[in-house]
C-alpha cells in the first residue's frame, strides 16, 4: 500500500451542545461542554490512521497541554507526527463549536500555531513529501504554504487532493494548476465559484468551471443527498446511506481521508467515493471530530 501525507491544521475543539444556535444578541444555556481533538488536517490524518493507512502529518501546535493531547491522539492511531512542529512562542489552535439538536454545527477557529506553518517548516520535512504517494491539503493554514506544498508535491509527481475548507471566494491559479482532485461540499463550491449549487445540474455546472480551470476531478459532498463526481467527460451521483445524524462535525474530513486512503490503495475514484460515503455516514451518527471516526473493521462489517 502507498503512503499518505496530510499537511494542515490541528485544533482542540471546545464543543458546546445546544438546543438551537444562539441568534445575535441572544443569551442561551448550553447543555454540555466537551474538549475533543479536531482540526481539519488532524481529523484527516487521524481518520487515515484509524482506517489503517500509512500516514504522516505536517503541521504545528503550541508547546501547551492541548498541543500535547493533539499529538498523542494522532500517535494513538499510528500517525507519524515527526512533521508536526511544537512552537514555544504561540498556542495550539482552538475551535469553538456549537452543535444543535439537528446535529448541525457552527465553528469558529482561532488558528494559533496553525498560522505559523511556513515554507521553511515544509522544507525541513521535504522528505515526508518525497516519501509519500498522495498529499492532502485543506485551508486552515496560510494559503501561501498550501500553494507551496501543492507545487512541490506536483514537481515530485505526487497526487494532490485539496479539501477547500474553509472556502475562500477564489482559489489562486497557482494552486489550481497543481491540484488533481478537489473535494468541496456544495456550500464551499458555491463560495469558490460564485455559482449557485442548489440542484444537481447547478452543482455540475459549478464543478465544471473548476474543471475548465485545470482540475482533473471535482468530488462534491452534498450531505444527506450523497456525493457528485464531475470530470471532463461525465458526472455521476453516489447516493448516501440513510442514517440519523447527531453531529456532522468531521464528516467531510473523514470523507476526504477515506477517498485518499482508497486511491492510495489503487481503487478507482468511484470505489473511493462509495467508501467515503459509508465512513462519513458512520461519523455523523457519533459526537465530536476525531472521537467519531470508525476503524476499518467497523466500516466493512
Contact 61, 51 (CB under 8 A): no
C-alpha to C-alpha distance for 9 and 70, rounded to whole angstroms: 11
Rule CB under 6 A: choose which of 39, 112, 184, 294 binds ligand RIB.
39
Among residues 6, 7, 14, 38, the one that binds ligand RIB under rule CB under 6 A: 38
Of 124-132, 154-162, 245-253, 267-275, which part binds ligand RIB (CB under 6 A)? 245-253
Determine which one of 13, 163, 180, 253 is catalytic: 253
Is 253 designated active site? yes
The burial class, CB within 10 Å (0-12 / 13-18 / 19+), for 226 is: middle
Q: Note whether 129 and 99 are within 8 A (CB).
A: no
Residue 44 binding ligand RIB, by CB under 6 A: no
6 binds ligand RIB (CB under 6 A): no
Query: Phi, psi (5° rounding) for residue 212?
Result: -65, -25
**Three-class secondary structure assignment of 180-192:** CEECCEHHHHHHH
Site string (78-117) toward ligand RIB, x via CB under 6 A: -----------------x-----------x-x--------
Residue with smaller CB distance to ligand RIB, 40 or 262 = 40
Look up residue 295 and give its three cell numbers. Answer: 476503524
Is residue 146 a contact point for ligand RIB (CB under 6 A)? no
What value does the CA radius of gyration of the chain take, rounded to a whole number of Å?
Answer: 18
Residue with nearest beta carbon to ligand RIB: 38
Q: What is the residue whose three cell numbers read 490541528?
A: 10
CB of 138 to ligand RIB, least distance (A): 8
> Length of the chain, please?
301
| CB closer to ligand RIB out of 152 and 219 | 219
Interior CA angle at 166 toward 142 and 208, to 5°? 110
Residue 11 binding ligand RIB, by CB under 6 A = yes
Residues that bind ligand RIB (CB under 6 A): 9, 11, 13, 38-40, 43, 95, 107, 109, 140, 249-250, 252-253, 289
Active site amino acids = 253
Amino acid at each position: 500500500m502507498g503512503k499518505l501525507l496530510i499537511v494542515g491544521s490541528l485544533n482542540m475543539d471546545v464543543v458546546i451542545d445546544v438546543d438551537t444556535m444562539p441568534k445575535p444578541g441572544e443569551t442561551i444555556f448550553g447543555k454540555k461542554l466537551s474538549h475533543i481533538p479536531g482540526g481539519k488536517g488532524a481529523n484527516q490524518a487521524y481518520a487515515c490512521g484509524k482506517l489503517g493507512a500509512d500516514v504522516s502529518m505536517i503541521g504545528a501546535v503550541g508547546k501547551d497541554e492541548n498541543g500535547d493531547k493533539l499529538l498523542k491522539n494522532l500517535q494513538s492511531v499510528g500517525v507519524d507526527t515527526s512533521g508536526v512542529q511544537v512552537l514555544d512562542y504561540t498556542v495550539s489552535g482552538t475551535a469553538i463549536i456549537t452543535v444543535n439538536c439537528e446535529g448541525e454545527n457552527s465553528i469558529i477557529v482561532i488558528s494559533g500555531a496553525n498560522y505559523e506553518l511556513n515554507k521553511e517548516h515544509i522544507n525541513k520535512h521535504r522528505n515526508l513529501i518525497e516519501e509519500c504517494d498522495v498529499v492532502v491539503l485543506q485551508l486552515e493554514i496560510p494559503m501561501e504554504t498550501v500553494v507551496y506544498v501543492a507545487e512541490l508535491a506536483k514537481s515530485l509527481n505526487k497526487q494532490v487532493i485539496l479539501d477547500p475548507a474553509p472556502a475562500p471566494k477564489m482559489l489562486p491559479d497557482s494552486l489550481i494548476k497543481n491540484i488533481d482532485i478537489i473535494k468541496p461540499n456544495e456550500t464551499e463550491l458555491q463560495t469558490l465559484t460564485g455559482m449557485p449549487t442548489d440542484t444537481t445540474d447547478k452543482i455540475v455546472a459549478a464543478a465544471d468551471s473548476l474543471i475548465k480551470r485545470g482540475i482533473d476531478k471535482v468530488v462534491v459532498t452534498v450531505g444527506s443527498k450523497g456525493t457528485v463526481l464531475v470530470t471532463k467527460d461525465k458526472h455521476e451521483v453516489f447516493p448516501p446511506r440513510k442514517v440519523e445524524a447527531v453531529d456532522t462535525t468531521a464528516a467531510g474530513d473523514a470523507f476526504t481521508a477515506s477517498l485518499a486512503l482508497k486511491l492510495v490503495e489503487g481503487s478507482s475514484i468511484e470505489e473511493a467515493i462509495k467508501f467515503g460515503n459509508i465512513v462519513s455516514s458512520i461519523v455523523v451518527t457519533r459526537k465530536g471530530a476525531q472521537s467519531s471516526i470508525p476503524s476499518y473493521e467497523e466500516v466493512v462489517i
